Structure 1
């Protein structure tokens, strides 16, 4: 198991819970329902990919370390770009953030493709 990756996943999960609580309790009085929905979408995707990072951390015992690290890097970058741009957009309403979101989504897709490739290939010999 990759302990540092698991630690990053735990921090991401903590942050997702905190941001979800902020959306549920702190945003109602300061922004529109549409912006809260956008913020919540960011929280959802951060959670999905937090669980993906946890899966990678445990799968690292059997999969190629190089591919695990690469997939993790794309997941983390995707979380920052996809969820991060949506968080900022919902909070400050700047439309220039719009093009960043799909770049983050592409990073998330690449992470899943690399994860699938690592799982498809012959597992690392753990003997």
Structure 2
């Protein structure tokens, strides 16, 4: 059986990883060509953006491997939640300068950690 057929049988994870990767590329390009708000220093917001984009890409690659786990739904759900909460709040802060959602960032980081742990179980 070809690998792509095997991956399709395990659920939507590879397709979600493809969408996540495409989103990471688009956001990476936006961040590379954008002027950041003056609320914090531009360099600080750029570093926050770069961290979000790096974590987004790394966890997209992890999402590709989720079908190989014993419990792909658990690992995939934690990765998706973590990318949304961690990367999403960092992207929002970097693009707008608004810190109102930053309290959710550590929850997203915890979800990413739980996603990696779920891959082990």
User: Structures share a fold, TM > 0.5?
Assistant: yes
Q: Which runs of 5+ in 1 are unaligned?
A: 118-127
- Tell me by how many angstroms 1:55 deviates: 1.0
2:9 is the alignment partner of 1:5: no
Say whether 1:50 aligns with 2:60.
yes
- Is contact 2:36-2:95 (8 Å) kept? no
Picking from 112, 117, 121, the partner of 1:113 is 117
State the partner residue of 2:107: 103
**Aligned CA-pair RMSD:** 1.3
Runs of 4+ in 1 over 6 A off after TM superposition: none
Find the aligned partners of 2:62 and 2:80 in 1 and give their Cα distance: 10
2:24 to 16, 19, 32: 16
Matched, 1:41 2:51: yes
Partners in 2 of 1:8 and 1:107 — Cα distance? 17
Normalising by structure 1, we get a TM-score of 0.80
- Residue 37 of structure 1, CA deviation: 1.5
How far apart are the structure 1 equivalents of 2:36 and 2:102? 21
How far apart are 1:33 and its partner, in Å? 2.1
Number of corresponding residues? 109
Structure 1 residue 94: Cα displacement: 1.9
- 5+ long unaligned stretches in structure 2: 1-6
Structure 1 residues 70, 3: closer, same or farther in 2, change over 3 A?
closer
